[in-house]
């Protein structure tokens, strides 16, 4: 049993360690305790750190402080490092909320804004976080996204509006954005898409573009919207410099499908812990396959 929740200094060190080893840390979102346990149990089995993410919608559903308490308890109960990220946070006020609630990192998402507005929002948030760190001594990692990969983590019939090659991140944009905002981690648009396409794997990642960005900047790179991408592309992305890989839609689908299968076979069952267990089991399979892939 551990007595202390891991601090963001350890978090950042682990990100760099994995990147230097040619590996990536897995990031999975949660909407309930069943999903959180499924993730952390696999992480403990594999002996790998893991990042639990909660989007604004997920935080509204579960409670900002409640998610922090759940992750604290998971760190006490399991012998593995579990970090908490405030995924896709769209306003300054929401950034303040999660930082003051003790989250280890936050993603400031102004990707849909015009470039200068995105820079201004992220810089404002970074300045606030640095002042918070100076006052409290607690480091909080700040990530931001540039280029557009969509916003909905769902099953899609076609590419979300606004996702196009024209909105891919360039190395020049990446360098300027990181320099002007002071972020700790950077999520480029390289052909990745939030959600999953129903009738096909997602568009191929632009690995050459990623390599150019990786050589041009000196902060860890994060791949969002990796649900549905091929194992081959994900391995190439990690080799090209990705340090963290986000998966949400793929595990949501597995969890839902597991619960549905149980309910189809047991239509009179009303005990949530029974069909929830089946959801956990199916989700765990995806979590395990992803974590094993990222650490090869």
Catalytic residues: 87
Residue 228 half-sphere exposure toward CB, CA atoms < 13 A: 24
Rounded-to-integer distance, Cα 87 and Cα 116, Å: 22
> Would you tell me how many other CB atoms lie within 10 Å of the CB of residue 180?
14
Rounded-to-integer distance, Cα 207 and Cα 165, Å: 13
Which residues on neighbouring strands pair with residue 53, listed in sequence order?
29, 85
> Would you tell me how many other CB atoms lie within 10 Å of the CB of residue 246?
25
**Strand residue runs (E) in 74-197:** 82-89, 105-108, 141-146, 155-156, 185-188, 196-197
The phi, psi pair for 141, rounded to 5°, reads -80, 140
CB 6 within 8 A of CB 85: no
Rounded-to-integer distance, Cα 167 and Cα 221, Å: 17
Rounded-to-integer distance, Cα 219 and Cα 226, Å: 20
Rounded-to-integer distance, Cα 196 and Cα 254, Å: 13
With tokens 């300054």, the residue in question is: 92
Rounded-to-integer distance, Cα 111 and Cα 144, Å: 8
Residue 123 half-sphere exposure toward CB, CA atoms < 13 A: 12
């Amino acid at each position: 049993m551990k007595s202390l929740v891991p601090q963001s200094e350890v978090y950042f060190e682990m990100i760099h360690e994995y990147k230097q080893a040619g590996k990536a840390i897995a990031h999975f979102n949660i909407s309930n305790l069943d999903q959180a346990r499924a993730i952390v149990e696999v992480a403990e089995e594999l002996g790998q750190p893991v990042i639990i993410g909660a989007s604004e919608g997920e935080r509204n559903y579960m409670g900002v402080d409640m998610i922090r308490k759940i992750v604290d308890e998971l760190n006490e109960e399991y012998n593995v490092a579990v970090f908490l990220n405030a995924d896709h946070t769209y306003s300054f006020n929401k950034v303040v909320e999660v930082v003051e609630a003790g989250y280890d990192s936050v993603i400031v998402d102004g990707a849909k804004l015009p470039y200068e507005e995105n820079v201004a929002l992220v810089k404002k948030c970074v300045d606030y976080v640095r002042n918070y760190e100076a006052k409290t001594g607690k480091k909080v990692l700040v990530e931001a996204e540039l280029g557009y990969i969509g916003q909905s983590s769902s099953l899609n019939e076609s590419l979300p509006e606004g996702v196009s090659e024209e909105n891919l991140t360039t190395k020049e944009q990446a360098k300027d954005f990181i320099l002007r905002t002071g972020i700790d981690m950077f999520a480029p648009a390289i052909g990745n898409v939030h959600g999953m396409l129903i009738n096909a794997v997602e568009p191929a990642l632009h690995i050459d573009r990623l390599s150019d960005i990786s050589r041009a900047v000196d902060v860890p790179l994060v791949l969002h919207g990796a649900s549905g991408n091929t194992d081959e592309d994900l391995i190439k992305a990690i080799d090209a410099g990705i340090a963290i890989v986000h998966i949400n839609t793929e595990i949501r689908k597995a969890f839902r499908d597991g619960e549905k299968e149980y309910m189809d076979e047991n239509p009179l069952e009303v005990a949530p812990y029974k069909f929830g267990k089946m959801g956990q089991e199916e989700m765990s399979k995806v979590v395990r396959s992803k974590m094993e892939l990222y650490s090869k």
